[in-house]
Amino acid sequence: MKYSVRFLVTFAMMMVIMPAAAYGHFRLLEPVSWLIESDRGDPQKAGPCGVTTNDNGKRSNAISKAIGGQKLHIKVQETVYHPGHYRVALAVNSLEELPPDPETTTRDTEKGPWSVSAIIQNPPQIPVLADGLFVHSTRPTGPMEPFETDVQLPNINCKKCTLQVVEFMANHGYNNPGGYSYHHCAELEITADPTRPIDMGWPVDR
């Protein structure tokens, strides 16, 4: 995928090797996740939406309604701290439309590759809606508050789009599956605003 502008967000190394207990986890609170998540947010490792062949999860059957061309509220709760950032993308017809996980720079350690930084799209390119959200690199001293923001939806019609929220984790060993990212998805029904032109470039709902 080509980007008009690229830059790296690099996080300071907190330790030479981070313990496994520091592996990040998060829950997708808004919009409602397509799966019923555990208190830690599992399942979430495998891309593009968290499930694996061994853990297909339990469907929530939730489909959130939204208006095209307007803002959509995103709210996530990090349940296990890890430095990193978040990215939001949208697939209209198929999960195959979702982009690969963020391209990651790593360093070699005696325990294998360790993540250092990841490319952030600026500006975001279809199908990414927002990138570089909630950048954080300081361990909280108290309870972790949810991260919240609004992202701009394209003005399109879509009976059942898939919204993907990915957490990139710096200072992290390679997960199998999932690499250096954790993943959640939500299903959206988007109705275009008839007073605005349809956003070109997005796939047509089939």
Q: How far apart are CA 176 and CA 162, in angstroms?
A: 23
In this prediction, the residues of the chain whose per-residue pLDDT falls under 50 are 1-23
> What pLDDT is attached to residue 20?
37
Distance CA 33, CA 76 (A): 10
Give the pLDDT of residue 85: 97
Q: Domains plus CATH for the chain?
A: 23-191 (2.60.40.10)
Cα gap 89→59, rounded to integer Å = 20
pLDDT of residue 24: 64
